[in-house]
Structure 1
Amino acid sequence: MAELNGAPVGPDELKALALVNYGHFTSMRMENQRIRGFSHHIERLVRDCQILFGGELDREQVRGYVRQATAGREGQFVVRVTVFDPDLELGRPGAPAEPKVLVTTRSAGTWPMAPMRVQTAQYTRELPETKHVGLLGALWHRRNAQLAGFDDCVFVDREAYISEGATWNVGFFDGQQVIWPNAEVLPGVTMRLLQQVHDAASLGPVNIADLPRMEAAFATNTAIGVRAITTINDVEFPGDHPVLKTLRQEYEEIPAEAV
């Protein structure tokens, strides 16, 4: 399913996403017509539209597009809202823009997802606080990690401080509290919700050298929830640490919002 501003979208309108690749998006897990953290997702779209296009996005209009595109669909699935201008040209990105709203859906995986093994990669995403469609660098490092036998990658800076995963936030448990890296990262909605409900947590630097003293590691985003990380490079973590069960329970107990 794909609708652009509430109408079926054709291939010509989608060309800009492939050929110009300028825009932003958010992905949301819908369960029985409700989305956990939906208002945060809307605010992200509004903020990023101002950053990339210098314009205001109508919150209620976006809600309406999501509501229409998912009407009558039951169960669990992922909704993605992408904001881009189909008429934007590669040679004139500074031209007046009229961004439109693309709503697409895909199947959702079953929780909890299997633990994953990740490899570090030195990389910082462009505009890291914006959820933009420019994913080449992230996917290139993910591909390299998979070719090396891992499931995914987590980014570090030149001094080996950890920031975020390719498309997810990362957290650690040191035996006392959850630690979220205080680096340049996308402020993921799942991470933000967990920060609101899990009291024993803090922001702090996490270096590769700190990993052996951590008791658990995990990834979070709207599609995977809380997913255990069992390996970072050659450091291993348990896939069934009690803190993971606690975080999952706290997250799933957050009331989902009606669209």
Structure 2
Amino acid sequence: MTAYVVHRQDRPATAAELTPLAFAGYAHFTAMQVRDGRVRGLDLHLERLRSASVELFGRALPDERVRTALRTAIAAGPADLSLTATVYSPAGEFVVAGEDVEPDLLVRTAVAAAGPAGPLTLAVVEHERDLPSIKHVGEVGKTYLLRQAAARGFDDAAFLDRRGRLSEGTIWNLAFWDGAEVIWPDAALLTGTTMGVVRRQLDRLGVGQRVQQITPADLPALAGAVVMNSWTPGVPVHRIGSTSLPAAPVFLDLLHRAWRAESPAAP
């Protein structure tokens, strides 16, 4: 029988331990795909948890404690799975915890995911996430906007900031192609772990990259677009708002090749 777990640190979580988190909105997390017990970009996941904990709670769990919890959860299930590690304060959401209160860690595993095949259509919606550099919980806005986009016949939504720049998707990073270089949006956004892996491997492959402001008016001149997250390094996007984008198989292949070039690591 396939086993998936919900652990607090490295042991099964009880209902009493889960209840405060279930009704809280002040926590952060990272999500990863585990294949054969290993994870691509593990260092980026650990850095994400560390830096977000310092920002939200003033301190972070030691990396080795986090890795032990990840190892225990992975060992309890199949070789391929999805894993979410959530950090929260046991003192409660509305308590200003002192330095003596250490954050706690919840690890949940589930069936492995691969994301949609695409190509996708994205509605353009005006939205800026709170604390965009942190992957935090309780973001009802982006789920609401996803549902609104689906009701209008789109697959998902892309966010437009107050300066008219495209930033990110509901659960995705955006990436664009000009036919020669990869373009990353210049805006306040969450730097995804998959995005981080792809960027460093594209550098090693000698593929040109740049960060540039992208507005809806810039889209017709581009040669392709994708979304990416922990599920996949690239799902093609063939329309953003009212603008159609060409298929870019070379671009998509580059992103997947960069992802495969990263050696997965065991926690």
| TM bucket, shorter chain | over 0.9
1:172-210 per-residue CA deviation (whole Å, 9 max, x = no partner) reads 001121100111111111111111122311001001100
CA distance in 2, matches of 1:49, 1:72: 26
Shift of 1:108: 2.3
Structure 2 counterpart of 1:154, one-letter code: A
Alpha-carbon offset, residue 89 of structure 1:
4.4
- Please state how far the C-alpha of 1:249 moved relative to its aligned partner: 1.5
Q: Does 234-243 or 57-66 show the bigger shift?
A: 234-243
Matched to 1:170, the amino acid is L
Any idea what the Cα deviations from partners look like across 1:213-249, whole Å, max 9, x if unmatched?
1111001111132111121112122445221012112
d(CA) in 2 for partners of 1:203, 1:187 = 12
Show the counterpart of 1:195.
199
**Partner-residue secondary structure (3-state), 2:149:** helix
1:119 aligns with 2:149: no
Give the Cα separation in 2 of the matches to 1:45 and 1:158.
28
Identity, % of aligned pairs? 33
- Superposition pairs for residues 98-177 of structure 1, below 5 Å? 98-110=102-114, 113-177=117-181
How do residues 243-258 of structure 1 correspond to structure 2 at under 5 angstroms? 243-258=251-266
Which residue is 1:95 aligned to?
Answer: 97
The structural deviation recorded for 1:159 is 3.2
Q: Cα distance 1:192–1:89, how it changes in 2: closer, same or farther (>3 A)?
A: closer
Instruction: Give, in angstroms, the shift of residue 150 of structure 1.
Output: 1.1
- Partner letter of residue 175 of structure 1? G
Question: Which moves more between the two structures, 95-104 or 109-118?
Answer: 109-118
Matched residue type, 1:201: Q
Gaps of 5+ in 1: none
User: 1:112-151 deviations in whole A, cap 9, x for unaligned?
Assistant: 7332211111111111111111311211111111111111
Query: Given that residues 33 and 73 in structure 1 are in contact (C-alpha distance below 8 angstroms), is that contact kept between their aligned partners in structure 2?
Result: no
SS of residue paired to 2:131: coil
1:210 paired residue number: 218
SS of corresponding position for 2:30: strand
Cα distance in structure 1, aligned partners of 2:210 and 2:93:
43
Contact 1:191–1:221 (Cα < 8 Å) also in 2: yes
Secondary structure at the residue paired with 1:218?
strand
CA distance in 2, matches of 1:214, 1:70: 41
> Aligned pairs, how many?
257
Quote how far apart the aligned CAs of 1:20 are.
2.2
Which residue among 222, 227, 233 is the counterpart of 2:235? 227
Deviates more, 1:125-134 or 1:67-76: 67-76
Q: Match of 1:26, SS?
A: strand
Q: Deviations over 1:2-53 (max 9, x none)?
A: 0012121123322223322111000011100110000110011010000011
Higher mean C-alpha displacement, 78-87 vs 205-214 = 78-87
> Is the contact between residue 158 and residue 170 of structure 2 (CA under 8 Å) also seen in structure 1?
yes
Which of 5, 19, 22 lines up with 1:18 in the alignment? Answer: 22
Structure 1 distance, partners of 2:18, 2:239, is 38
RMSD: 1.7
